[in-house]
Every structure is written in structure tokens, then in C-alpha cells.
Amino acid sequence: MQASEVETRSGRLRGAIRDGVHVFRGIPYAAPPTGALRFRPPAPVESWSGVRDATRPGPAAPQIPSPLSRIMGAGTETWDEDCLRLEVYTPGADDARRPVMVWLHGGGFTSGAGSQEIYDGSRIARRGDVVVVSVTYRLGILGWLPLEAFAAEEGGSAGNFGLQDQIAALEWVSANAAAFGGDPGNVTLFGESAGAMSVGVLLGCPAARGLFHAAILQSGAAHNVHDDDAAEQISAAVLEGLGLTRSETRALRDAPVERLLDVQKSILETPMPDLRQLKFQPYADGRVLPEAPLRAIRRGSAAGVRVIAGTNLDEYKLWSLTDRKLNELDEERLRRRCNHLIPGHGDRIVDAYRSARKGREDTSPRELWFAIEGDRLFRVPCIELLEAQAPHAADVHAYLFTWASPAFGGILGSCHALDVPFVFGGVDREPMARFVGEGETVRALSELMQDAWIAFARGGAPEGWPAYDTTDRHTWVLGEEPHLRSAPFDAERRAWQGVGPQ
């Protein structure tokens, strides 16, 4: 395999050329967040002498393997606290100044890595003549513990270490993209699930301003941010699990990472009735994230940033694989779930969805649950982000991904994460091929989505895809027969008006 070398701000790297794409892997963008640097903002990476090998993927952040990731074939084999690495895929380490696309992986802020093969950016790089960068950031307790005691330290913050990792990676791209043939003045940030939620938060984060110029959010928006009350619950649970007081930050830094993961696992498995979001996620701490990002976006924090945002038709059906009580879901249990998750509005939402879908969709308790929970967690936040950004940027576009998976007898529908292999051109790679299906229609949809994302990174939306507004709500439906649609599932959207942040 032919080698390729580049000179970065920190030192020289040797990567490999695969099928015409120069691939550099495991590149450090910050110092290892270990020892005294654990639970601190990312520190600058130390320069090295000689040529550093960049042919092996960077490790994942410490994590508990996700059952869903394993099922979908996106598990991580190795992890290490020294995880602040990124992967670069480029058609040429030259002075071509190509558009740069920076990927933030999903995994609920507790699993995943930018180095996973499902995120291999070589096909996008080759097809679109763009530079693709995939980022690994800190997860779980190590990345998102919202402990105020950290903020009392010099240069400290109350958490959001994973968010600061993402900003540090964008700063690295700004400083080094040109060495890989990229244009630091044309950076598109894209991500899925927790990655898209991170993109939404970064749209409202002052420290990220100017580091990216366009954003693509797949199944995530700007809602996943803890307030003070939620942050207090999580920090108290972590400290209790470790048997520590709030002032024992040194003990947190000295704790074996396996012990932290054990406590994290216990917290993830323990119900917290008042918490209706992810347990580990960004925190509006008043420092790194001064306010709720959606509020900042409404005020113009990301003015001029071009945006594509969308969701999958059956997002929540992915979790049918792990919901042990799903087969017992009757009308009473459906209403009980919805009244818990949407206090004061649950019964009304159930009635509204049944009325809106009668005669055109299955209205059984099971199907209503999937539709309501998918909209609560993904589609409604996406719409609110689009509405918030539309007055501040001319290029704001919506999509709805509707391709259905044939796996497990078709029970997954167009579930969460099914769009990822289409975007990365991996629909023919196992094990994802068994989830997406096969045939010319699959390949054509994948190529269509790749070309759309690439065109957007280059500065424009595909022909015939109008901007999103609150009148027509133009949405590009990406499925077996791609087409434009106005205000899909609008009666369901209107049912959420007045509900408030979820």
C-alpha cells in the first residue's frame, strides 16, 4: 500500500493511500485527557519529532458496549482514555482547498467513536472531491459529568468536556485542513443522533462561532441540554455511586476508569422519573454553554450558517429491539407512558395522533407509541431548530428519510441510524447491508444522499429542494421514490404546540 505524508502544526504524519484516497488515522488533536487532565478542558497536543504513524484507527473513548450498536454492527473493539483523535480522508494532500466535512458520531453521548468503520469517509471523499474528518470525543461520565466543583478550578468548567473536545477538533481543522488539501474557510459540520445533537448545541455555543460554515443534522437537534436541576441529579448520582463528596475532584481523577464505567452503567440502568432526556449530555452551565442553545439560535447565534436537518420516519422503532414490555403495550399502558413523559399533555397527544392517523396509518397502541416517542425525541426538536434558524440563514432545508429496513421481518421500518450507511456509501458493506437491503434502488438512494450532502458542503442545495419556511414547510422525502412534500405529518406537529421543551 502506498504511503502519504503531510506536515501538520504538531508534526509530520505518515498515512496510506487506499483506492486513490489518502487516509490518515488516529491523529491526536489534543493532549491525552488522563491523570491531572481528566475532567479538564482539552489541552494542546504536544508536538513530536520525526514522522508519526497514522495508519491505525484511533481508539474509542472509554465506554460500555451498546447492545443496539452491536446489533447494528457498529460496536467498538478497543477503547482508551487517550482518545482525542480524528481520522482524515482526502483525495490529495495538496493545495486544492477542497470543502471540508467534519463528522460527529452518535451513540447517546455514551458510546461510539469516529474511527468506527461505519464512518469510513473514503467514499464521500472520492465521490465529491472533499476532505472528510471524523472526530472521537469523550463520553459518559468522563465527557459529560456536570459537576460544579470542576468550575472552581483554574480554567475549569462545570462539565461539557466532550463539547469542548468537539470545539478543539474544529480548531484543529481550522489550523490544519490546508495541509490535507482542505479549505478551512469552508467547513461543514455533520452528525447523526448524539452527533447531530452536538451540532445543534454548537450552533448555539459562542466558542464554536466561525469554526464551521454549514451544518447537517441527522436525527438530532438542539434540545438535548441539561438544566441545573437535571445536572444536579446526575452529579449527585455519580458521586453517590463512587462514595465521594463534591469536593473530592482528585479522587475522581484517580478512580480506575473501570470503576467509573461501572457507576455509569448503574446510572443508565436506574430509572430517574423526573429525567426525560439522556442522562449524559451537554449542560447549560453558564460558561462553555451560556444558555440553552435553541434560545441562542433563535436570537441569531448561528446567523449565516447554512443548515440541513431531518429525521427518519420510524426513529423509535430501533428501540423495539430492547423494549421488553412492548408486547404488553395496550391502551392503558400507552397513556400511562405518555402521561409520564409528557406531563399534562399525554392523553391529548394520544388522542390527537389517533385522530390524525386514522384511515392512513396503523393506530394500534404499539404504532402510536413509536410515532409519538419518535416525534418527541427527534422530529419535533428538528422542526423547532429549523424554525429557529430559518430567519437567520437563506439556506435552511428539511428532509424526511423513509427507506424501510427489511431486517427482522421489517419491524424496524425507517428506524434511527438507518440513514448513516446511505450517507457514507456503505450500503453494500456487512453487517449494515443486511439492514438496508440490496438492489439498484438502495444504491441510487445512497448516491442521491451523498451527492446532496456533498453539494451542500460545496455551497448549495440540490436542484428543486427549496428552503424551509413556516408556511409551506417544504421537506425532501428520501425513500424509494424521492420527492418534495409540503408539511408532512403536520397535524401531529401541531399537537405539540404549547407543550414546551422536551
- Active-site residue, from 105, 392, 416, 474: 416
Region 459-479: mean pLDDT is: 93
Residue 190 lies in a domain: yes
Q: What's residue 273's pLDDT? A: 84
Question: Do 189 and 260 reside in the same domain of the chain?
Answer: yes
Cβ-based neighbours of 262, under 8 Å, separated by 6 or more: none
Question: Do 350 and 381 reside in the same domain of the chain?
Answer: yes
CB atoms within 10 A of CB 172: 25
Question: Which tens digit of pLDDT belongs to each residue from 62-81?
Answer: 999 877 666 665 566 689 99
Sign of CA pseudo-dihedral 112, 113, 115, 118: positive
Q: What's residue 207's pLDDT? A: 97
Question: Which tens digit of pLDDT belongs to each residue from 316-332?
Answer: 999 999 998 998 999 99
Active site residue 416: yes
- Whether pLDDT at 502 is above 60: no
- Active-site residue, from 81, 87, 315, 373: 315
Residues in the chain: 502
Per the structure, how many domains does the chain have?
Answer: 2
- Active-site residue, from 4, 66, 115, 193: 193
pTM above 0.75, yes or no: yes
Question: Do 70 and 134 reside in the same domain of the chain?
Answer: yes
Question: Do 278 and 328 reside in the same domain of the chain?
Answer: no
- Determine the Cα–Cα distance for residues 232 and 414; give it in Å rounded to an integer: 36
Do 98 and 129 meet the contact criterion of CB atoms below 8 Å apart?
yes
Do 501 and 226 meet the contact criterion of CB atoms below 8 Å apart?
no
Question: Do 316 and 413 reside in the same domain of the chain?
Answer: yes
> Residue 115: phi, psi to the nearest 5?
-90, 0
Residue 318 lies in a domain: yes
Question: Do 160 and 248 reside in the same domain of the chain?
Answer: yes
Last residue of a domain, one of 302, 321, 347: 302
Of residues 5, 106, 8, the one with CA closest to residue 48: 8
Residue 461 lies in a domain: no
Active site residue 226: no
Coil, helix or strand at residue 177:
helix
- Whether pLDDT at 245 is above 60: yes
- Determine the Cα–Cα distance for residues 82 and 62; give it in Å rounded to an integer: 9
**Residues of the domain holding 357:** 309-436+466-495
Residue 458 lies in a domain: no
Active site residue 232: no
The β-bridge partners of 90 are 22
**Residue carrying C-alpha cell 469554526:** 211
Residue 478 lies in a domain: yes
Residue 449 lies in a domain: no
**Residue carrying C-alpha cell 470542576:** 150
Question: Do 244 and 346 reside in the same domain of the chain?
Answer: no
Q: What's residue 151's pLDDT? A: 87
Exposed, middle or buried: residue 269 (CB in 10 Å: 0-12, 13-18, 19+)? exposed
Q: What's residue 229's pLDDT? A: 94
Region 275-290: mean pLDDT is: 94
Question: Which tens digit of pLDDT belongs to each residue from 155-206?
Answer: 778 889 999 999 999 999 999 999 999 999 999 999 999 999 999 999 999 9
Region 132-158: mean pLDDT is: 92
Residue 390 lies in a domain: yes
The CATH number that applies at residue 276 is: 3.40.50.1820
Question: Do 293 and 391 reside in the same domain of the chain?
Answer: no
Question: Do 233 and 179 reside in the same domain of the chain?
Answer: yes
Residue 127 lies in a domain: yes
Q: What's residue 460's pLDDT? A: 85
Cβ-based neighbours of 258, under 8 Å, separated by 6 or more: none
- Determine the Cα–Cα distance for residues 421 and 447; give it in Å rounded to an integer: 11
Region 360-385: mean pLDDT is: 97
Last residue of a domain, one of 302, 337, 356: 302
Last residue of a domain, one of 269, 302, 335: 302
Q: Which pLDDT band, with edges at 50, 70 and 90, does 440 fall under?
A: very high
Question: Do 298 and 329 reside in the same domain of the chain?
Answer: no
Q: What's residue 198's pLDDT? A: 98
Question: Do 122 and 267 reside in the same domain of the chain?
Answer: yes
Do 181 and 157 meet the contact criterion of CB atoms below 8 Å apart?
no
Question: Do 230 and 361 reside in the same domain of the chain?
Answer: no
